[in-house]
Structure 1
């Protein structure tokens, strides 16, 4: 087995099924690093880039809170904002609307996580597949101190950036759970091919073949969703076909001992 650089490993993992045998026979630490990099890139594509674009569009957080957002005030009894404010950051929606004591369901019209502040209550709701998975309502006096205003939001900007970074890490973790589980399920199927064709891979190596084969599809699917380019269903269908084709090509090349 020849030594390869990490950039070559990324290239082969995304585009060269014929190199998967060489990849899965490399050190386990390199496989772990590859998985980590792919997950971090997924988070960049789906969260960091859209979030940065939104914040830049407002001229930065400071300008957003001090100039773009209408005046906000909390007197210890209720919050007021002269005009309702709404901001979408990836799948998270921030709402400030003092026309309601509690922001109602009709304002939560799509899947995502909502942080919705009314005049009396703060509502945190997560909707997946049209169903509420979490719905928590907290009295606003437990969240805000009297005298809260736009200046208070400006002072919170560093903490907000830290929170966004934590959201990025959580999103990467969720991608690991999602795609790690899919690769595991697929590994049981591909391992049958491994045994029938007498290729001689361990289950861990079969798992990495599946993860390598899925990598390009993961990136394309989530990039399309983040950019809103074409039908997500169409792209998902195409990338499933591409992933299965890559995995099958890799297994056949290992059986024949040639390059695909």
Structure 2
């Protein structure tokens, strides 16, 4: 039975092959309708396949381009961050170099005195450096009553010393009194600390002789009669000095030479003036 079925299958295949051979031997004219029909069917499919393929290729290309652009953008952002960090570091170094240069110039200005450089490490108030601490102490040669300068002028005086720190009371503190004088003159005065007044960037200037001629901008320096402050240290500049109501003295204001908002480094003058009896420091 199986052999009989095999014979039938072989016969069918033989007939099919003969038909195919015959069809392929026919003239092109007879095959043309068939080809045309197949073309009508296949061409739209081929066009659709081409369109889909082109779209997929474009999407893949676009995604690749976008991914490449995103990667490049991420690299550029990292480079910008690095450059900004480097720029900030250079600016900080430049700012510190400028401060140290000013401190060096101040040191040269007071080169008649031995000095110790120090950095401000803390302050007692949130607003100004009225009382603050520095990173040098008795182990470095710092002692009580040493004068402290910065920013071109007098800052204050050392009031307390530890082994590796010292406390400075600045001239803007309410308790501060500095014996002073107009530069190149014998007329003395008092520079009085006043935190309320310093909100306007000024201190009180009192006890000028009524005969003194004091103009705005005149330099005010520490006087020879001060008991704790060395003579000739610039304190600031006179402003609005007028005769008092009693017509016996003059008073006005002083614009400090030092900046008490942004103290970072200071110089300590290691010479200590001999203490004597005086009405002010």
Please indicate the TM-score interval, normalised by the length of the shorter structure.
under 0.3
Higher RCO by CA contacts (8 Å cutoff, separation 6 or greater): 1
